[in-house]
Amino acid sequence: MSTPTVPMRRRPIIGWGLHDGLVVARRNLIQTIRVPELLFFSIVQPVIFVLLFAFVFGGAIPIPGADPSAAPDASIYRQYLMPGIFGQTVAFASAASTVGLAEDMHRGIIDRFRSLPMASGGVLLGRTFADATRQILVLTVLSITGLLIGWRINNGIVDAIYAYLLLLLFAYTVSWVGSWIGLYMPNPETAQTAGLVWLFPLTFLSNAFVPITAMPTWLQPIAQWNPISSLVLATRELFGNPTGTIGEAWPQQHPFAYTIISCVVLIAIFAPLAVRRYRRATAR
């Protein structure tokens, strides 16, 4: 009997799961660099949003809580808008995970990954790491755009770092949700649509672009408990941007804590669901 022995790696300190996750993340990030068109459009889209909202709707949306006696000032809306755009952008990071996994399944590479003696969460860790990491670049470009149109960081660098970290945590969280959806997709084309369709109501039912007080009363509780609202509100507070009227609900009163709790709970639900689904995922 021939049992060829091949030299194995020693178990890394970070453990095999994380090791495999980083290997797959490296692969996904190399992909990002090799298909610059995709990265380009994922940056251009939110930038267009910024310009549209700032210059088309800017004056039309009054921000309660902003000094009413002051002259109407477009820059107040722009200060209000930027954290909303940040929140929407990181939420849309999940769509990349949905499409990425659907493509991997379609191409059959998931079958190969599953036939390897790797950690079963490795592929998904790699996917979510990479998709969240990409947001660092997107947020950088967006921030520069914001600064150019009059958005400012008013509370100092430490709070700003907290704001960015919170946004990245949220991107990472929704990547798990997006991954779970992606593993159910029959093909990449369906994933393009399904990855986005739930994000529009979610982001528009929040304070991202319009103050919650401007919504119909029956929608207000939903918007107040929407984690995107708390993310955006926490970010506004940390950047020292106008917040609009803050609601009565607990998430509105404690947006930072509520956002972190939401992220932890969502990951605790969707990561195991996605891993379970991954174990059965096959091509076609």
Partner 1 sequence: MSDIIVAVGLVKKFGDVVALDGLDLRVPEGTVYGLLGPNGAGKTTCVRILTTLLKPDAGAATVAGFDVVKRPNAVRRVIGLTGQYAAVDEYLSGRENLRMFGDLYHLAPGYVKERSQELLERFDLADAADRSLRTYSGGMRRRLDLAASLIAKPRILFLDEPTTGLDPRSRIGLWEVIKDLVADGTTVLLTTQYLDEADQLAEDIVVIDHGRVIAHGTSDALKDQVGGDRLEVIVDGREAVVTAVEALRPLATGEVLAEVADHRVVAPVSGGSTVLVDAIRALDAAGVRVEDVALRRPTLDDVFLSLTGHAAEEES
13 binds partner 1 (CB under 8 A): no
Question: Minimum CB separation from partner 1 for residue 6, in Å?
Answer: 5
158 binds partner 1 (CB under 8 A): no
d(CA 177, CA 241): 29
Considering Cα of 12, then 15, then 20, then 22, what sign does the dihedral take? negative
Return the range that interacts with partner 1 (CB under 8 A); candidates 13-21, 156-164, 251-259, 270-278.
Answer: 13-21
Q: What residues contact 17, with CB distance under 8 A and at least 6 apart? A: 119, 121, 122, 125
* CB-CB neighbours of 235 under 10 Å: 28
Question: Minimum CB separation from partner 1 for residue 127, in Å?
Answer: 13
Cα 159–164–167 angle (5° rounding)? 125
Site string for partner 1, 40-69 (x = CB under 8 A): ------------------------------
129 binds partner 1 (CB under 8 A): no
Count residues near partner 1 (CB under 8 A).
34
109 binds partner 1 (CB under 8 A): yes
d(CA 163, CA 59): 26
Q: Which two tokens stand for residue 69?
A: 């006696």
Considering Cα of 55, then 59, then 61, then 62, what sign does the dihedral take? positive
CB 166 within 8 A of CB 50: no
Site string for partner 1, 14-43 (x = CB under 8 A): --x--xx--xx-xx--xx--xx--------
Residue number with CB closer to partner 1 (122 or 195) = 122
9 binds partner 1 (CB under 8 A): yes
Residue number with CB closer to partner 1 (112 or 276) = 112
Q: Which two tokens stand for residue 235?
A: 């970010």
Q: Which one of 14, 48, 51, 116 is in contact with partner 1 (CB under 8 A)? A: 116
220 binds partner 1 (CB under 8 A): no
Q: Which two tokens stand for residue 187?
A: 């093909």
DSSP class of 56? I
Query: In one letter, which amino acid is 11?
Result: R
Question: Minimum CB separation from partner 1 for residue 188, in Å?
Answer: 12
Q: Which one of 14, 165, 219, 283 is in contact with partner 1 (CB under 8 A)? A: 283
131 binds partner 1 (CB under 8 A): no
